[in-house]
Amino acid sequence: MAEWSLECSACRVTAPGDALASVCPSCGQPFLVRYAWPDNAQPRREGFERWDMWRYSAVLPLAAGESPVSLGEGCTPIAELPALARELGIARAWVKDEGLNPTASFKARGMSAAVTRARALGVTQFVVPTAGNAGAALAAYGAAAGIAVRVFAPASTPSPILATIRALGAELVLVDGHIGDAGKRSRAWAAEHGAFDMSTLREPYRIEGKKTMGIELAEQLGWTMPSHIIYPTGGGTGLIGMWKVFGEMREWGWLPPDVQLPKMIVAQADGCAPMVRAFHAGADHATPWENPSTHASGLRVPGPLGDRLILRALRESGGDAQAVSEDAIRADTLALATASGVDAAPEGGCALAVLRALVKEGRVPADARVLLFNTGSGASYRF
Ligand SMILES: *Cc1c(COP(=O)(O)O)cnc(C)c1O
């Protein structure tokens, strides 16, 4: 089992791993988890026992003898799409279907890790602002841990997701506006009632759960890497978590020494593309997007707290960023579903639409081996 502490992603201030933490107290940027193993050992790429994301518990924040709060998250399938690759004119294409997680999105992975730590540290009440899926996932993991959950979500959140939040026993408060507005309400409520704030990157362990997507895809591809990963980006935790663990796996010797890490590509919608704008402006942080709007509700995050970390991952990986129209998202949600049999969410459709645009412009070459993420389920949008 690992031991860990927290390190600020910007100013490198450290904090202990065995106390509740939020953002860095000196600069306000997110903490990242740093691990150490007894006797300076490296974790081994073997002995994975469970068929959920905790098969990688040796490199996750789980204490010796502790059981995780788990609902079978992770171990989602990757399907290869040869006909789609031919049509696009690239070497290989795959889709990883995160819609098959508990409560139908990869948010389950982050909440499983975060609720496990919070329970161990004695939290009795959770609060979270959400574009939808994070609220549904926290409702589920809070229920599994026996801890009360309050969710602040935009009133415009797809109704099946709101219904899931209520069905799992969470208190749901609808907010006029977007996730940033929900965040203000949520932080005020947390301060007033002493609830623990599970907001994206204000809590250091959600990202550790999400990094398991990166370990898993490597294991599924025989410990090789795709050349490009296209990730529908809202708060950016999935992308940041995967980029973090690719570096960790290289350090641990889990990847071939000469491995070429994937180029990380941000996919966003024309109606809310703060990361695309910041990347192409050469900025090191993003400015909030005015009047964010897209039917791919997981991408409606106008001012992500992880902006610096997202941009760093794009630059370090030699990646790219692209936004596409609502019509392109609709067309490619259907195209992804019919090419794969995966019940694609609009966020997954956005990833395919971005791939199509980048191939057309020569920003993804003909020999590319591209992994698309379908981050949610189409079922969450049928109402
Ligand atoms: C939350 C969410 C996203 C955005 O994920 P981040 O890792 O926060 O960028 C994308 N798609 C779906 C379906 C989501 O729920």
Q: Is 294 in the pocket of ligand 1 (CB under 6 A)?
A: no
Reported as type and span, the H/E element at residue 196 is strand 196-197
Task: Please give the class, per CATH, of domain 107-197.
Answer: alpha beta
Q: Enumerate the domain spans of the chain.
A: 3-54, 78-105+205-381, 107-197
β-bridge partners, 156: none
DSSP labels, 256-274: -TT--PPEEEEEEETTB-H
**Overall average pLDDT of the 116-128 stretch:** 98
Residue ID of nearest Cα to ligand 1 atom 10: 298
Q: Is 378 in the pocket of ligand 1 (CB under 6 A)?
A: no
**Which residue in the block uniquely carries the two structure tokens 């602040």?**
152
Distances (CA, A) of 195 to 150, 187, 200, 210: 9, 9, 15, 23
Nearest one of 184, 210, 185, 200 to 305, comparing CA atoms: 200
| Residue 18 confidence (pLDDT) | 94
**Overall average pLDDT of the 265-270 stretch:** 98
For residue 361, pLDDT over 90 is answered with: yes
Contact 371, 261 (CB under 8 A): no
Q: pLDDT digit string (tens) for 144-199?
A: 999 999 999 999 999 999 999 999 999 999 999 999 999 999 999 999 999 999 99
Question: Which tokens hold the place of 310?
Answer: 């997202």
Reported as type and span, the H/E element at residue 207 is helix 206-210
Contact 236, 270 (CB under 8 A): no
Contact 324, 354 (CB under 8 A): yes
| Residue 1 confidence (pLDDT) | 80
Fold of the 78-105+205-381 domain: Rossmann fold (3.40.50)
| Residue 40 confidence (pLDDT) | 87
| Residue 369 confidence (pLDDT) | 98
The whole-angstrom separation of Cα 129 and Cα 151 is 6
Q: Is 142 in the pocket of ligand 1 (CB under 6 A)?
A: no
Q: Is 233 in the pocket of ligand 1 (CB under 6 A)?
A: yes
| Residue 284 confidence (pLDDT) | 97
Q: Tell me, in angstroms, the distance from the centre of ligand 1 to residue 301's CA.
A: 9
**Overall average pLDDT of the 345-361 stretch:** 98
* Helix, strand and coil in the chain, % to nearest 5: 40, 20, 40
Q: pLDDT digit string (tens) for 52-92?
A: 999 999 999 999 999 999 999 999 999 999 999 999 999 99
| Residue 232 confidence (pLDDT) | 98
Q: Does the predicted model carry a pTM greater than 0.95?
A: yes
Q: How confident is the model at residue 120 (pLDDT cuts 50, 70, 90)?
A: very high
Whether the domain at 78-105+205-381 and the domain at 107-197 fall into the same CATH topology? yes
